[in-house]
Amino acid sequence: MMKPCGMIAALVAALLVLTAAGCGASDGTTTSATSATTVPQTTATADEYDVYSALIQSAYIDATQPKQIVIQGTTVDPRLYSPRLATGAMKSSWPDLGDDILSDFKAKNQTSSALERTFTLSVPYTLISLQELASSFPPTAPGWDKFYAKYPGSQGRLALSRVGFNQAKDTAVLYTEYGRGATDGEGDVVLMKKTAGRWTVQGAGMIMQS
């Protein structure tokens, strides 16, 4: 199986080729030191950022206490993973999910969207562009040492899909990818519920491991 270092390099290279060809993907938001250059037609909503923030705070900060979070500046491109596989895993893991939430997930994940600096987290975070990922993970050389030298105290690179909601907006699903090292990366589907105004993680299922 492809190692995350090589996997990230391959995914980034493919995205950059698609972007240059004008196929709809954008490198989106750059790091905090620079500004966004391309705004896609669809963007994540405030409700989605509430879900993102709750998930990251619970799953990626409370457990590991990193000094910073590094988030891919565009949502996971559907041409480089399978939304159909993700929705199938969601339905299998959580049979009570309605068609409304799965349809919303699939509709939003037709293309990649730029993310903005509207996360609410207890630690600093950086939105990393595809160009920066490409420079950190060249196809012919290991990249994790370079990555961690540039982002000390981080626990790897997190990529997020758009969020699907049910009609009541109290249940949410999404797909995440997290790479931490040369033999440590995974892709997961996540189920979240909103109770008393607060989003919490209800379940997660791994659908990819490297």
Q: Mind giving me the DSSP string for 67-126? A: S-EEEESBPPPTTSS-HHHHHHHHHHH-TT--HHHHHHHHHHTTS--B--S----SS-EE
Regions in the chain scoring below 50 on pLDDT? 1-6, 9-10, 13-14, 16-41
Calculate the average pLDDT of the chain. Answer: 81
Predicted local distance difference test score (pLDDT) of residue 153: 87
Residue matched to tokens 């905090």: 32
CB atoms within 10 A of CB 195: 9
Q: What is the pTM of this model?
A: 0.80
- State the sign of the Cα–Cα–Cα–Cα dihedral 99, 165, 32, 177: negative
pLDDT tens figures, 149-205: 888 888 889 999 999 999 999 999 999 999 887 777 889 999 999 999 999 999 999
3-class state of residue 27 by DSSP: coil
Contact 84, 207 (CB under 8 A): no
3-class state of residue 59 by DSSP: helix
Burial of 82 (0-12, 13-18, 19+ CB in 10 A): middle
How far, in Å, CA of 175 to CA of 33, rounded?
A: 27
- State the sign of the Cα–Cα–Cα–Cα dihedral 207, 187, 105, 10: negative
What would the two tokens of residue 39 be?
């705004």
Predicted local distance difference test score (pLDDT) of residue 140: 58
Task: Using alpha carbons, list the distances in angstroms from residue 8 to 46, 134, 156, 188, 191.
Answer: 28, 8, 12, 16, 25
Predicted local distance difference test score (pLDDT) of residue 63: 64
The C-alpha angle 35, 64, 189, rounded to 5 degrees, equals 75
| Number of compact structural domains in the chain | 1
Domain ranges, residue 164: 4-209
